[in-house]
């Protein structure tokens, strides 16, 4: 590894640590605030975010309900699921008709093999969201032992696959994956800000 690569890796590790601690601190505060919050607050925040990308109000509220259902089913923060979906597909149903160049399908951009592993039909919209949330739950569990990088690595694994994260002992040095982690974190922090500003 040359000097420039070492500097880039050091910057990435610092940014990852900052992202992790920000998400962790905000998640704890979020959990405490949730105890006193009205049940409608989270769906309103999610619907507001979805509506910024998807102008079809029927789809917006369907997606919101599906995120809340799937996140409750697998005990994953619904705002994290929303942030991942925003980053993956911008809440577009067109992703069911036009898979990505890599073959990813739907709102959570499931690969066929991943969908099969979690037992869902990736072309079924609810199955796609439930499957993506189940897979995210698996990644959070798989990398829970990574300390301050646990959430970062789980999100990286959603993008690059768990084998890549395991091979590199953390977020792999792929520009796409590193940018993906930052975009998910930015979306998540924006959603938290919207929640607290209500």
Report the catalytic residues.
88
- For 144-160, letters b (16+ CB in 10 Å) and e give eebeebbbbbbbbbbbb
Residue 22: alpha-carbon gap to chain centroid: 15
Give the separation between CA 44 and CA 197, rounded to whole angstroms.
12
The backbone torsions φ and ψ at residue 102, rounded to the nearest 5 degrees and listed phi first, read -85, -10
DSSP run (H or E) holding 59: helix 57-74
The backbone torsions φ and ψ at residue 70, rounded to the nearest 5 degrees and listed phi first, read -65, -40
Give the separation between CA 28 and CA 21, rounded to whole angstroms.
10
143, 125 Cβ separation under 8 angstroms: no
């Amino acid at each position: 590894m040359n000097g420039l690569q070492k500097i880039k890796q050091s910057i990435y590790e610092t940014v990852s640590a900052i992202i992790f601690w920000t998400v962790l601190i905000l998640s704890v505060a979020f959990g405490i605030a949730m105890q006193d919050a009205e049940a409608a607050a989270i769906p309103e925040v999610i619907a507001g975010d979805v509506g910024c990308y998807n102008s079809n109000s029927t789809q917006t509220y369907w997606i919101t309900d599906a995120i809340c259902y799937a996140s409750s089913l697998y005990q994953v923060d619904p705002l994290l699921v929303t942030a991942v979906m925003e980053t993956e597909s911008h809440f577009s149903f067109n992703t069911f008709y036009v898979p990505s160049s890599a073959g990813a399908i739907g709102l959570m951009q499931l690969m066929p093999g991943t969908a099969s592993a979690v037992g869902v039909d990736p072309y079924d919209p609810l199955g796609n969201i439930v499957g993506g949330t189940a897979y995210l739950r698996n990644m959070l569990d798989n990398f829970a032992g990574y300390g301050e990088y646990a959430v970062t690595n789980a999100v990286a694994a959603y993008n690059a696959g768990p084998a890549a994260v395991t091979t590199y002992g953390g977020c792999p040095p792929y520009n796409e994956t590193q940018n993906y982690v930052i975009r998910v974190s930015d979306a998540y922090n924006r959603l938290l800000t919207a929640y607290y500003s209500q």
